[in-house]
Structure 1
Amino acid sequence: MNITYKQTKTINLEQVENLYNDVGWTAYTKNMDLLQQALLQSLDVISAWDGDQLVGLIRTVGDGLTILYIQDILVLDAYQNQGIASKLLQMVLQKHETVRQKVLLTEEAPDVRHFYEKNGFESCDKGSVVAFGRFQ
């Protein structure tokens, strides 16, 4: 397997839909036009490819100067635990190494916590930082 990485916001929507559905993020795929606009308006979209097949994607929003929010990071189930998500995350972090605040919200699960901690993130339930969210 030879995974290649691309920085582009224009990706075949059928492949994007397959990726999001594969990981169970169907709330995104209920409105593919909205998801396409979200990709186009993102700060970064970096995708992982096995030949012509989209196998992973990371998407960020923010100003790229003082705040970087990692909105989506996902990898096809069949390609998980092969370092693809870590590579995508490291590419974003290297690109924005001078940005002071790099944040994300995600579900609580031992494997999720382990993934982000091994990539240098700290949970806001530790230390002096507090996180708040408002969800609809």
Structure 2
Amino acid sequence: MTIVFKETKQIDQKNLLVLYEDVEWYAYTKDINQLEQAISNSLYVLSAWDEECLIGLIRIIGDGLTIIYIQDILVLNSYQNHGIATKLMDRILDKFKAVRQKVLLTEEAPNVRHFYEKNGFDSCDKGTLVAFVKLT
């Protein structure tokens, strides 16, 4: 397996649909045109490919100078636990190392918590930080 990483926001809808539905992110795939536009409007997108198959993606929004927000990080189920998400995260953290605030919001799960803590993130339920979100 040879994984190729690409810095591109131009990813066809078919590949996006397969990836996002495989990880059951159906809220994104209800309107595939909106997802494609959201990716296009992102600050930075890094994708992982096995030949012509999109197997992973990390998407960043923000100003890229004082704050980045990791909006999406996902890997096809059949490719999980092979270090692909870690490689995507490492490349993002290196690219934006001078940015002081690196933020993400995710659902709670033991393996999710472990992944982000392993990558240097602190949960807002620890320490002096507080996080707020308003979902509609």
- TM-score tier, shorter chain, comes to over 0.9
CA RMSD of aligned residues (A): 0.5
Distance 1:135 1:27 in 2: 13
| 1:121 maps to amino acid | F
**TM-score, structure 2 length as denominator?**
0.99
- 1:27 is aligned to 27
> Under a length normalisation based on structure 1, what TM-score does the superposition of the two structures give?
0.99
Match of 1:130 in 2: 130
* CA distance in 2: counterparts of 1:53 and 1:99, whole angstroms: 31
Sequence identity of aligned pairs in percent?
Answer: 62
Secondary structure of the residue aligned to 1:86 is: helix
Could you tell me how far apart the structure 1 residues matched to 2:69 and 2:90 are? 14
Give the C-alpha shift of residue 30 in structure 1: 0.5
Give the distance between the partners of 2:33 and 2:49, measured in 1 at CA. Answer: 22
Deviations 1:84-131 (A, max 9, x none): 001001111111000000000000000000000001101000001100
Counterparts of 1:30 and 1:73, CA distance in 2: 18
Tell me which stretches of 4 or more aligned residues in structure 1 moved more than 3 Å: none
1:44-55 pair list within 5 angstroms: 44-55=44-55
Q: What are structure 2's unaligned runs of at least 5 residues?
A: none
Partners of 2:44 and 2:89 lie apart in 1 by 11
Write the distance in 1 (CA, Å) between the matches of 2:11 and 2:131: 32
Matched, 1:39 2:39: yes
Paired residues, number: 136
1:82 counterpart residue number: 82
1:12 to partner: Cα distance: 1.5
